[in-house]
Structure 1
Amino acid sequence: MFSKLVKLLLIAVVSSAMLTGCGQSKVSNTQDPTTAGQKKNITIVTSFYPMYISTINVTKGIPGVEVVNMTKPQTGCLHDYQLTPEDLKTLEKANAFVINGAGMEAFLDKTIQQQPQLKIIDASKNLELLKDETGEENPHVWVSVSNAILQVQNIAEQLAVVDTQNAAQYKSNAAEYVKKLEALRDTMHKSLDGTKNKDIITFHEAFPYFAKEFKLNIVSVIEREPGSEPSPAELAATINTIKESHIKALFAEPQYSSKAAQTIAQETGAKVYTLDPVVTGEAKPDAYDAYIRVMENNLKILQEALQ
């Protein structure tokens, strides 16, 4: 009797173990993302603010896609930017890194060396670049609305290759944003194309593409290298140019001190205005229209300055 009872207990334990094992296997398969057909999360890092704005528009409303801007809100153009340990940690989590290209991210070689698996999205791919008198290519392509449109399309096309599951949505979002940028460009052309006064003096080399698009003539540049004060000789030359050309407006940038521009204004009677190359700002998830808003404000300033 005792032996029969032991046998029954053993059979019950083995049966329970088999049922439990089957149950665990079933839950595991249900939770497997590949089996369930769930989309994987995608983290996209952008090099600085203008790339962030374009990228959040391209990725708008796509579940599982996160966009992170690498640099701080106050970071201007990346001419002399140095990678930080925090930047490298951010890039380690990235599936793709969206850059302006055209030589703007001088730190990129180091990034590629340390993150060889990182997919680089070059927003300036195949864009025609302007050169200064020394032959150096100007990377500020996004300041032209037409170039900003091409960059948005570039970002969408290259992300579609990296993340094929969301390819159609990237391209659809890009097309929607491009329509807004085209409307902005048309409005600016209607306001600026008929302006007789086309001569301007800018703060540094951020506006050649903008000037080319709207047929403005940059007579002189106050500081060719951002953050470098012009020499007395350069200041004197700019002052003479303004007096000879009867230019009434100087254009500083909100990212840099306008001290040199104010000095020139005092000597010439010209007025200092502010044009924003849309290079800095808070990387907020709802900053979709930040580029458009800044450009609309730039248009108002130009209308006042060039009338």
Structure 2
Amino acid sequence: MKNVTYGLIIITMILFLGLGFFQSPLLANTENEIEAGEEVLLNITTVSKNQYSMVKSIVLNKHNVEYLSENESEIYKFKYNEDIINNISGRDLFIYSGINNEPWVNDFIAELKKGDLGIINMSRGIKTLTYENGNENPYYWLGINEYKIALYNVKSAIQEKDPKNKSYYEENYTNVINKIEESAKEVKLELEKYKDYTVLTNTNTFDYLLRDLGLQVVNVKKEVTRKNLDEKKLDENKIVFVKEKDPIEIVNIIETKKEDDKVEETKKTNEEKLEVPELEAKKPLDIKSVELIRWDGEKTLVELALSNIKLVTDTLKKLPIVTK
């Protein structure tokens, strides 16, 4: 009888210990679920104000979002120190454009104390265009399709850090994309009438934007002359000349004309005109031109892209509809 009693006691103790052993993980899991369901406050830093606007279009009034540079000149002149490195290292997300838009960023990232910091290159997945010298064209953020990819990268990074509000960010992203596509669709329908027309340009800044519009683009190295048109067999009645308004000179990144270059180019242009004096005198060029904007601190990148598209479209509308 005693043996039976001792046996029952031992079995009871084993069951008690077993319950205690298996309950602890269950309690821990419950706590994890509560933590996963809590609201999080992300600290996000972007390099530029334009990137800041992209993030805000996804998070709206959620989270703390800051930027390092107000304009393009500040980006290229930016100098970091130990305080900035420590500050960014303690953030949740650091977002930059990539493709040489921030020439200092690789060295900066190498010095960051990673920890829980998410480092996001917005250009990931973008098919870049190249210059004649083989270097990548960094102005992808001026193109419509490229902007959508960059915004997707931003949205995905935020969703990973705040999965509870994943559908909220998805909805905001979809709203932005729908607005862009609606505006772009209207423009492309309008531009169908001008698919056989040509855009001449002396800058590569807007290559992504013009490609997205489906326009034929021909690059010239200087101002348009009749010699340019004759060499390329172009009809001046079917041409728009795209220039950049107020270009900013940044060494090795942005190609602009210095004053002495302008003088030299004027001489060359005059020489070209002298080569065909009768032709120029008889029929001076009458080409519609438009100045597009690369950077506007008062506009988001979407607003800037749509504004540039409207400028191109309005200029094309001034041309006669020439049929074959």
Quote the Cα distance in structure 1 between the aligned partners of 2:95 and 2:80. Answer: 17
Match of 1:209 in 2: 208
Structure 1 pair 250/140, CA: closer, same or farther in 2 (3 Å)?
closer
Q: TM-score if structure 1 supplies the norm length?
A: 0.67
SS in 2 for 1:297: helix
Structure 1 pair 250/151, CA: closer, same or farther in 2 (3 Å)?
closer
For residue 114 of structure 1, the aligned residue among 106, 111, 116 is 111
Deviations 1:116-164 (A, max 9, x none): 3132112221222222222222222222212211221121112212333
State the shift of 1:217 in Å. Answer: 3.0
Match of 2:53 in 1: 53
SS in 1 for 2:148: helix
SS in 2 for 1:204: coil
Unaligned runs of 5+ in 2: 1-33, 249-255, 274-284, 320-324
State the shift of 1:49 in Å. Answer: 3.5
Deviations 1:11-62 (A, max 9, x none): xxxxxxxxxxxxxxxxxxxxxxx98x75342121112243222211111132
Alignment of 1:165-180 (within 5 A): 165-180=164-179
Structure 1 pair 167/203, CA: closer, same or farther in 2 (3 Å)?
farther
Quote the Cα distance in structure 2 between the aligned partners of 1:77 and 1:269. Answer: 39
Structure 1 pair 255/58, CA: closer, same or farther in 2 (3 Å)?
farther
Paired AA for residue 298 in structure 1: N
State the shift of 1:255 in Å. Answer: 4.6
Alignment of 1:10-21 (within 5 A): none
Answer yes or no: is 1:97 the counterpart of 2:94. Answer: yes
Identity among equivalent positions (%) equals 18
Match of 2:292 in 1: 275
Match of 2:322 in 1: none
Answer yes or no: is 1:251 the counterpart of 2:240. Answer: no
Structure 1 pair 208/92, CA: closer, same or farther in 2 (3 Å)?
same
> Does the CA contact (< 8 Å) of 2:45 and 2:93 recur in 1?
yes
For residue 241 of structure 1, the aligned residue among 228, 232, 250 is 228
Quote the Cα distance in structure 1 between the aligned partners of 2:247 and 2:86. Answer: 27
* Structure of larger gyration radius: 2
> Does the CA contact (< 8 Å) of 1:220 and 1:238 recur in 2?
no
State the shift of 1:81 in Å. Answer: 4.5
Paired AA for residue 59 in structure 1: V
> Does the CA contact (< 8 Å) of 2:209 and 2:305 recur in 1?
no
Q: TM-score if structure 2 supplies the norm length?
A: 0.64
Quote the Cα distance in structure 2 between the aligned partners of 1:84 and 1:175. Answer: 35
Alignment of 1:30-109 (within 5 A): 39-62=39-62, 65-72=63-70, 74-75=71-72, 80-85=76-81, 88=85, 91-92=88-89, 94-109=91-106
> Does the CA contact (< 8 Å) of 2:47 and 2:96 recur in 1?
yes
Unaligned runs of 5+ in 1: 1-33, 223-234
Match of 1:136 in 2: 135
Paired AA for residue 83 in structure 1: K
Quote the Cα distance in structure 2 between the aligned partners of 1:180 and 1:168. Answer: 18
Alignment of 1:136-175 (within 5 A): 136-175=135-174
> Does the CA contact (< 8 Å) of 2:200 and 2:240 recur in 1?
no
Structure 1 pair 242/55, CA: closer, same or farther in 2 (3 Å)?
farther
SS in 2 for 1:219: strand
* Larger fraction in helix: 2
State the shift of 1:215 in Å. Answer: 2.1
> Does the CA contact (< 8 Å) of 1:265 and 1:271 recur in 2?
no
Structure 1 pair 281/255, CA: closer, same or farther in 2 (3 Å)?
farther
- Higher mean C-alpha displacement, 135-144 vs 236-245: 236-245
For this pair of structures, how many residues does the alignment match? Answer: 251
Quote the Cα distance in structure 2 between the aligned partners of 1:77 and 1:241. Answer: 37
State the shift of 1:293 in Å. Answer: 3.1
Structure 1 pair 199/60, CA: closer, same or farther in 2 (3 Å)?
same
Answer yes or no: is 1:294 the counterpart of 2:294. Answer: no
